[in-house]
A and B are shown apart, each in its own frame.
Chain A
């Protein structure tokens, strides 16, 4: 068994150095999206179907940290009812016991997280706290928010 020649050692060192440089200059891997931070922004009253309703409006204050592709139209994934233009990620409201209240399946943009809501019939006591789950149907990952107030 012969000892490696000096020229071979230099080549190996250069290759290792090049690898390190390439790793250093390569774009960092995209950070995983954070859990949503949900904040109540307003309450409004409206009527429809002969009933009076209270709409609780929310914002996801860290919505800018979600990549646009997470909410792009995803015709290859199962439709939302008859809507074949559903987005890749769906957003659902739940009360603190995990009962689903409402959902959005076609936001198409992370900025849509700034105007999400659920409604309760006027005169009924709403759940005291709610949270949302963003379900990335392609990556099969769920992002769950904090519990947010329903009264101001």
Chain B
């Protein structure tokens, strides 16, 4: 009788263990979004997703999300290492009444955001809000229109290194809040309170 129980238990463990990789394998290292995509799709090059939030759930940690064409790809909360690269594509995130991109990841997670147009439409809370991360790099992006009192273009509220390069931060109630390092070529102007970069790092 004991042998039967052990056999049944081991079968359950085997089945459970076998099903876990199947779930994990549904995520891709590189996914795609498109203005005419659909989050029901697998986010592949030929069947892209519609939003960053939809693509993020189908991208492995340390993976990459790319944009195929211009579009509004929606607000997203990032909880793992990821790169969102949409340079030259007109990748919009309209965040009326909410945060554009929230980074709330682990202490060793690395996030790269490049080529984004994050717009608060006068009512957004924060363009990019970093709650926690290992490092966050923001490159070649525009963060604007977070102009209600208390709103910020970039808000760093927890541990993590945040570096900005070649980006424009303007027309926000506050441009920068928290420790943000500039890697050069940034425009920080036209904000109610620009804030200031904690340091400027030379680009090598």
* B→A interface (CB under 8 Å): 37-40, 49-51, 53-54, 57, 72-74, 77, 92, 94, 96-98
Contacts and interface: CB of A to CB of B under 8 A. Distances in A.
18 contacts: A42-B96, A43-B94, A44-B96, A44-B97, A45-B98, A96-B38, A125-B39, A125-B51, A126-B39, A127-B39, A128-B39, A149-B50, A149-B72, A150-B50, A151-B72, A152-B72, A152-B94, A152-B96
Q: Which 9 A-B pairs have the closest CB atoms?
A: A128-B50, A151-B74, A152-B94, A128-B38, A152-B72, A45-B97, A125-B54, A128-B39, A151-B72
Nearest to A55: B97
Nearest to A40: B72
Nearest to A42: B96
A60 to B, nearest CB: 20
A152 to B, nearest CB: 4
Nearest to A122: B98
Given A149-B72, A151-B94, A152-B92, 4 more contacts: A128-B54, A151-B72, A151-B73, A152-B74
A151 B98 contact: no
Bin chain A's interface residue count: 10 to 19
A129 interface: yes
Q: Is the interface of A mostly helix, strand, loop or mixed?
A: loop
Contacts of A44: 96-97
B50 A151 contact: yes
Contacts of B92: 152
B77 A123 contact: yes
B37 A128 contact: yes
A97 interface: yes
Contacts of B73: 151
A125 B94 contact: no
A127 B74 CA distance: 12
Contacts of B50: 128-129, 149-151
Interface string A101-114: 00000000000000
